[in-house]
Structure formats: structure tokens, C-alpha cells
Amino acid sequence: MSIQTAKREKRRARFQSAMQQLTEEFPLEHRVTNALPEIQAAYVQVLRHWLEQAAPPGKDIVSAAVLDALAAMDAVVIDAQGIGCYPFSARDTGIHAHIEGKSAWAMCALDALAIARLTHKASRVTARCTVCRCHLTVPVAADGSVEQAACEGIRVVRLPRGLKGGPCCENLCSAIRFLCKYCSVPAGAESYTLPEAAALANSFFAFQARLSERYLAVPAREGSAGLLREDT
């Protein structure tokens, strides 16, 4: 095995390990894709609102019962600021994704990197270093790729978590942040280059695009099942 092949295998193993860890701790795809069709349809409705408006939808976007079911699955987050839908946050997280004059908060650093590919539009992610709090900017191409050379050594780190339980936005997401090139990786944290982090983010949320393509919006407002119909 050549040195280059060995390096590729090491990167692949690292990626697979990180993806497995993420999906085990937050099995969002499994929860949504195994939900009832009307729950899936409502989920797509909320997600599409975010993708198109970069803002939280009103609570009347789907029936209250279905919205509660989505919240119980931790597929959406409901609070005083509105309805968040991973990767989008309705409340200030300190991580902003800017796209064509619109902007939205992201749940975490990985989530911010996923938004460009989901919207098929280039984005500019702004945040602060989790250690020194300096301002950071990360340009993301419409295909979700990131050029490390253009980002001045910025990385994504996953900090050790003291808080466990509760919704993902309050435990796992709070631990995934950006780090500038001048600060050392905190003890016990995992560190990823921006290309590595973008690949993880795009893979984690890839199911949303597949699921969204299965449904077509319709004007009816007859509860969650009437808001969307499955494209057969």
C-alpha cells in the first residue's frame, strides 16, 4: 500500500467513525424517515419554509398535534423565538449563515456548513472563535464544499460535553463550534479541518434533500396530511 493510499484510508476511516458517532448520538434521519407519512410531510413543510425564507415559520404551518409529534422526535425545536428545524435555529446561536441577502442562525458549526448545499446557493458563514471570540468568516460553495486555504486555518471542534440529555440543540450542538488558527484545540476536544467538517455536515443532512423531493406542496390547509402530498 502506497503512502497516499494509506492516507486516504485513514481519512476515510476517520470520516466513517465521526459519522457513526454523530448518527448514534442524534439519529435524526432514522427518526424522520421512519415516521408516519403525514409526519414526514409536515417535516418537509417546515424545512422548506426555512430553505426558502431563512426564517422560522408560524406555528400554524401544520396542525398542533403533528408539530408536537415533530418536537417529541427532536426533529424541530419549538421555543419563544419560533420553530427551529435542524440545521436552522430560530434563536441566536452565535453562528450565522448568509445567503443572497438573507441570513439565518444555524444550530452549530456543522449545521452552518450544510446550509449552502441544502439551498443550492453559496453561503457566507460568520461566527466567533469558541476560545478567543475573534470574528470568523467561512465561504461555502453552492455544492457545500469549502476551500481550507481560503479560510485562514479555521477549524471545527467538538468540545467535551458536560450536559447530556434534552434536545440535541442544547447538548450536542452547543459543543460543536468554530476555532481560529491561533487558538489551540481545547483539551479533550476533537478537531476537523473545514473540508472534513463540510463533508460530515453534507452527509448528515443529505436525507433532507431526498425526502423533500418525494413531496410536492399543495395549497390546501386541511391539517398536516393536506399540506403536502407524496409525489408518486
Q: Give residue-wise pLDDT tens across range 42-101.
A: 999 999 999 999 999 999 999 999 999 999 999 999 989 999 999 999 999 999 999 999
Measured between alpha carbons, how far is 70 from 65 in angstroms, rounded to an integer?
9
pLDDT single digits (tens) 138-177: 999 999 999 888 788 999 999 987 556 789 998 899 999 9
Cell numbers found for residue 112: 452552518
Which pLDDT does position 156 carry in this prediction? 97
Q: Answer whether residue 3 shows pLDDT above 80.
A: no
- For residue 96, the cross-strand partners are 105, 126
Q: What is the pLDDT of residue 1?
A: 66
Strand 82-84 to strand 88-89: parallel, antiparallel, or no bridges (unpaired)? unpaired
Q: Which has more pLDDT, 2 or 227?
A: 2
Residue 52 dihedral angles phi and psi, to the nearest 5°: -90, -35
Q: What are the contacts of 35-41 at 24+ separation with CB within 8 A?
A: 35/69, 35/73, 35/75, 37/225, 37/230, 38/66, 38/224, 38/225, 39/66, 39/69, 39/70, 39/73, 39/224, 40/211, 40/215, 41/215, 41/224, 41/225, 41/227, 41/228, 41/229, 41/230
Alpha helices in 54-181 (DSSP H): 64-72, 109-119
DSSP annotation of 192: E
Residue type, 30: H
Q: What is the pLDDT of residue 230?
A: 35
User: What pLDDT score was predicted for residue 219?
Assistant: 39
Q: What is the pLDDT of residue 100?
A: 92
DSSP 215: E
